Structures are given as C-alpha cells and as structure tokens.
Structure 1
C-alpha cells in the first residue's frame, strides 16, 4: 500500500463523540472538569458556538435537534484558568503601556521626574480601568452565550472519543454531573 493511501484511509476514519445537554453553566463546567481529570484533552471537548454563528448555521432549531448534527458550529473549550490568565495579562499590559506612555509624555513636556512618575501611575490606572471594561464586556458576552444556549434547550457539550473506554468515561462523566440526553453518536468523515 502506498504511503498516500494510508494517509487517505486515516483521514477518512470515523470517530464517535459523546454528547450531553446541561441545564446550567455550573453542571457543564463540572462535567468538563470531570472529563479533563479522566484523561480527556481540551482539544477533544467542544461547545456550541455563539448564538449568532449557531443561528446562521442551524437556524432556530433546539439543542436536541442539533446535538447530533455535523453542521452545528462548535467552539473549542478554553479552561477558566487560561481565561483568567488572559484577563490578568490584559490589565497588566494596559497598565504598563499606559504608565510608560504617561511618564514619557510628562517627562518630555515638563521635564520633572516626580511629575512623570505620578503621571505614569495615573495613566496606568486609567488604562487598567479600560482593560477592566473590556473584561466586563467579555463576561457579558459569555453570559449572553449561556442564556441563548439555555433558551435553545440547554448547553451542549461534545467529547470526541477514540476508544470504548473513552466513550464509557465520557458517558459516565456527563451523566454523573447532571447531563441529560447523554449518548454516543458517530461523526461521518469529511
């Protein structure tokens, strides 16, 4: 068999996913945490994309109507810790940039070191407040995403599985954490 034929066969291989429906963000997060502690990588975990993308792709169908659809737009799961690190980095970066810009501006205009220090701190604080505002917008967007999904009938969670043991682990994790309509479905090759 030619090497190209092997790659083609591997690319066509079907895989299965365990899908579950959750009625709260807390239960969803608990199931994801359970999956991660039982050998799943976050690249194997996905959620329904934001409502605009979902509405464009699947219309106004309910979560139960799209849970087995290969057309359902998905987003990869991002750990809460990673989001928190990103938020902290944004605020820190904005503070740093604001402080440097404010200090340089005052130093060049006024030539006073003390005034430059105070201006830098003030500018950094203002820039940090802008960062906090951006974070609040992101949090509002996340809340709206969850509310839109719940209005569709629940928060969908998919876990890609390659073995029977992984299937059982995903089924157990989702059911143990309050998942409804938890089942396995096969994804057709692209």
Structure 2
C-alpha cells in the first residue's frame, strides 16, 4: 500500500510537455493559435526567454541543446492582439491624462474654456507620443527576441500536456505548422 502511495506522489511531481523548434515567427504563431483553439490554455504554452538571465543560465547553447532542459528560463506566451490592446490602452490613457492636465492648467491660469480645450488637445497629443514611443520600444524588444532565438537555432515552443490526447494535439499543431524536432518529454514539477 505504501509503495502505491509513493508512486502516486512521484507521478504527480512529473508532467509532460511537447516541445518543437520553429524557423519563423509566423509558423510559431500559427502553431500557438492552433493550440489555443484546440483546448490549450495560455498558461500551458511557454517560450524561451532571451535576456541576461537566459544568457547566464544557458550561455550560447543552441536551441536543440536546451529544448529538454527544465533549467531553460521560460516566459508565457502573450498574443499579439493582447500586446496591441495594451499599447492602445496606454496611448489612450496618456492622451486622456495629458488632455485633462493641460485643460485644467490652462483653465486655472487663463480662465478661458476655448483655450483650455485647445491646450487639452495639444497636451493629450504630446502625452500620447510617449505611449507611441513605448510601443516602438516593445516592438524592438520583440524583434530582438526573435533574432536572438533564430541565431540560437530556432524559436522554441513548449506546450504542457495533461493527457495522451492533449499530447497528440500538441504534436499535430507543431508538426503541421512548420515545427521540427517535435517530441514529448517528461519533466519534474
């Protein structure tokens, strides 16, 4: 009885993943879109980070050398649509704050409603340019991430699986969307 309980505990500490390597961002996104429309949660999908922490941990190892490592630092996938919504919200918020601040400032100093409206629009537009700059920074970071991953040998995608059917779906998604070296591996939780 005790050995069955131990085995059950050991099994709970392991999980399976399907991993695949992609040569283009479009193929990677297609595979992720398929996964997300076929029962995978965004929290089950991860990518290799590319920052100082990653370079320190894995050095200059190629993607195929670290694809099965539980030491590989990962990030959750964030959809392009979510990033665009976030950028748009930031620009809108900065416009709103700038417009209100500009209008209130001019109104309190000059007391003119018309001048306050024009000042609000001008200040809002100027403040929204900060948001546009931040959006450009995010795009550059994404582009640099893709270039660094491709220089490492490809874009790695991991999909955590719960069942054998889930494994088959993940393998199908990756193989049919340009992934190669697609396989299942076990990791300790």
**TM-score class normalised by the smaller sequence:** over 0.9
Q: Classify 1:13/1:20 alpha carbon distance in 2 versus 1 (closer, same or farther; 3 Å).
A: same
Q: Secondary structure at the match of 2:95?
A: helix
State the number of aligned residues.
185
The answer as to 2:144 corresponding to 1:144 is yes
Pair 1:114-2:114 in alignment: yes
SS of the residue 2:29 aligns to: helix
CA contact (8 A) 1:161 1:167 kept: yes
- Note if 1:123 corresponds to 2:109: no
8 Å CA contact retained: 1:48, 1:157: yes
Q: Secondary structure at the match of 2:182?
A: strand
TM-fit CA distance, 1:45: 0.1
Question: What is the CA distance between 1:50 and its match in structure 2?
Answer: 2.3
Match of 2:102? 102
After TM superposition, give the deviation of residue 74 of structure 1 in Å.
0.2
Distance 2:144 2:178 in 1: 22
TM-score scaled to structure 1, two decimals? 0.93
Using the TM superposition, give the Cα deviation of residue 188 of structure 1 relative to its aligned residue in structure 2, in angstroms. 1.6
Provide structure 1 residue ranges, at least 5 long, that are not aligned to the other structure. Answer: none
Q: So what's the TM-score if we normalise by structure 2?
A: 0.93
Report the CA distance between 1:111 and its aligned residue: 1.2
Q: State the SS of the aligned residue for 1:21.
A: strand
Residues of 2 paired with 1:117 and 1:49: CA distance?
45
Task: Write out aligned runs for 1:1-190 (5 A).
Answer: 9=9, 12-189=12-189
* CA-CA distance at 1:38 after TM superposition: 1.1
RMSD: 1.8
Q: Distance in 1 between matches of 2:164 and 2:137?
A: 41
Contact 1:51 1:148 in 2 (8 A): no
